[in-house]
């Protein structure tokens, strides 16, 4: 992948608690255009052939902005740290302008009276981009602890590298449920928050979400504690 692919603003989603963020970025448009997938061979120029199958990269035309979707649900536990390290290294090599992570996590007591989406920034200068609105959304409580093992690994390397400037948009998430109601709610909140955060440069057609996101019975899963973000 040409390093310029990741030199702009990069938006990242993984398999979060509500299964929401990937849907938001899949349906997001930037200045009215949808992102196009990058060829696997191009992805493998930055990630090893072993790690590339767990990552999809999309790029919006006429901008340097890109989307990274990580299949953490399929990623073996033994490769979590390796992939997190490789992605942060790729962003550093490309001198990415910023990284924005979207996720719907288990926030049992969080409430802001609005969208229930919370903002957090990492690394000096994260709030310096005048094309992003980092002031409107409620702030995440610094006492919250990330329990998702892959996200924790990614943020570890972001802090160690002190790069890139990183933003987190964290929605109060719920288990998807039998009719995916939890996913719909989180998608709606994250989509609206993303539009606020980007000053409507990136938008999501919520009617298209209703058409594209399947309402299907989802088998309940046990042992979701590793997907949560809890209070201390």
Task: Split the chain (232 residues) into runs of 10 and give each run's mean pLDDT.
Answer: 79 93 93 92 93 97 92 97 97 94 85 85 75 91 90 97 93 77 88 96 87 56 43 32
Q: For residues 21 and 230, what is the distance between their CA atoms, to the nearest angstrom?
A: 19
Residue 49 lies in a domain: yes
Residue 116 lies in a domain: yes
Residue 220 lies in a domain: no
Q: For residues 139 and 147, what is the distance between their CA atoms, to the nearest angstrom?
A: 19
CB atoms within 10 A of CB 87: 24
Helix axes 149-161, 80-93, angle to 10 degrees: 40
- pLDDT for 178 equals 66
CATH number at residue 123: 3.40.50.10900
- pLDDT for 16 equals 92
- pLDDT for 213 equals 76
Residue 232 lies in a domain: no
DSSP for residue 43:
H
Residue 226 lies in a domain: no
Residue 44 lies in a domain: yes
- pLDDT for 3 equals 57
Residue 230 lies in a domain: no
Residue 222 lies in a domain: no
| DSSP reduced 3-state for 163 | coil
- pLDDT for 221 equals 43
- pLDDT for 198 equals 96
* Domain range for 211: 3-215
pTM over 0.85: yes
Task: Please give the tally of structural domains in the chain.
Answer: 1
From 206, 142, 131, 199, select the one nearest 168 (Cα to Cα). 142
């Amino acid at each position: 992948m040409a390093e310029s692919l990741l030199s702009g603003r990069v938006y990242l989603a993984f398999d979060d608690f509500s299964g929401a963020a990937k849907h938001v970025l899949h349906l997001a448009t930037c200045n009215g255009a949808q992102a196009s997938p990058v060829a696997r061979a191009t992805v493998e120029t930055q990630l090893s052939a072993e790690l590339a199958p767990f990552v999809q990269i999309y790029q919006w035309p006429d901008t340097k902005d890109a989307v990274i979707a990580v299949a953490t649900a399929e990623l073996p536990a033994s490769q979590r740290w390796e992939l997190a390290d490789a992605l942060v290294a790729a962003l550093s090599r490309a001198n990415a302008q910023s990284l924005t992570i979207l996720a719907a996590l288990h926030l049992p007591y969080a409430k802001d009276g609005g969208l229930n989406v919370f903002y957090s920034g990492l690394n000096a200068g994260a709030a310096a981009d005048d094309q992003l609105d980092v002031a409107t959304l409620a702030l995440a409580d610094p006492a919250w602890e990330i329990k998702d093992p892959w996200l924790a690994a990614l943020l570890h390397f972001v802090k160690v590298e002190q790069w890139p400037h990183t933003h987190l948009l964290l929605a109060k998430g719920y288990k998807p449920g039998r009719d995916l109601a939890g996913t719909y709610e989180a998608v709606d909140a994250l989509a609206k928050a993303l539009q606020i955060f980007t000053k409507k440069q990136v938008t999501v057609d919520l009617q298209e979400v209703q058409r594209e996101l399947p309402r299907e019975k989802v088998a309940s899963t046990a042992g979701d504690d590793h997907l949560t973000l809890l209070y201390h």
